[in-house]
Structure 1
């Protein structure tokens, strides 16, 4: 596979994962959260993941993942807790999902995207 083919395949894989979450992902994540995350161009390049309603992002499509930027969880009162990658320190609490994912995008390291096919070992 050429580098261009690999890049296209990675972009298609990332886009398919985003479609899953944007379409509701069988209740895995609130589609409003997915839409707010997807609206951030830098996040849209990364491989999205969800666990227990918490959304996070990886530099690669496989496991082990390379979590970047942070993660967003609903707090239960209509707000959103924003934590660092892998549940690190709290970065803030946002009133809207848009604000939460803006904070995640702002905390991405320089040059961290787009996601690649593979695992942490491939980066």
Structure 2
């Protein structure tokens, strides 16, 4: 399954549930994607669904930089929706809605 070539296309494919897109058939992912897309800070990051989660990557593939996946992410399938720091190092919080989870991710993004 090829990855989207850029941030805008990745969001578009997820929102449109384009066949062949990673996670496109999972209803629990779509509501999290919609909530995350509503946040301008997250919309500027590359959305990467994997294993029931939605990660936010600093860039589109190919990923040469080791720090491309160092941001908080959302575990889909709630409520509650869990937000973890990169690598499941720490639980940042649990929320009742995808919008609250997206806001929690934004509040834990590094400056800039």
Normalised-by-shorter TM-score class:
0.7 to 0.9
Q: Given the two structures, how large is their TM-score scaled by the length of structure 2?
A: 0.78
Q: Provide the secondary structure at the position in 1 that maps to 2:35.
A: helix
Greater per-residue helix proportion: 1
Q: Given the two structures, how large is their TM-score scaled by the length of structure 1?
A: 0.71
From 7, 28, 32, the equivalent of 1:14 is 7
Residue pair 2:79, 2:95 contacting (<8 A) in 1 also: no
Deviations 1:10-51 (A, max 9, x none): xx8211000111123432562111010001100000111010
1:14-93 equivalent positions in 2, closer than 5 A = 14-24=7-17, 25=21, 26-28=24-26, 30-62=29-61, 63-64=63-64, 66-74=68-76, 76=77, 78-93=79-94
Residue pair 2:29, 2:52 contacting (<8 A) in 1 also: yes
Summarize the Cα distance change of 1:77–1:50 in structure 2 as closer, same or farther, 3 Å threshold: closer
Distance 2:53 2:35 in 1: 13
* Higher RCO (C-alpha 8 Å, min separation 6): 1
83-92 or 62-71: which moved more?
62-71
Gaps of 5+ in 1: 1-11, 112-123
1:93-108 equivalent positions in 2, closer than 5 A = 93-108=94-109
1:109-120 equivalent positions in 2, closer than 5 A = 109-111=110-112
- Counterpart for residue 5 of structure 1: none
Gaps of 5+ in 2: none
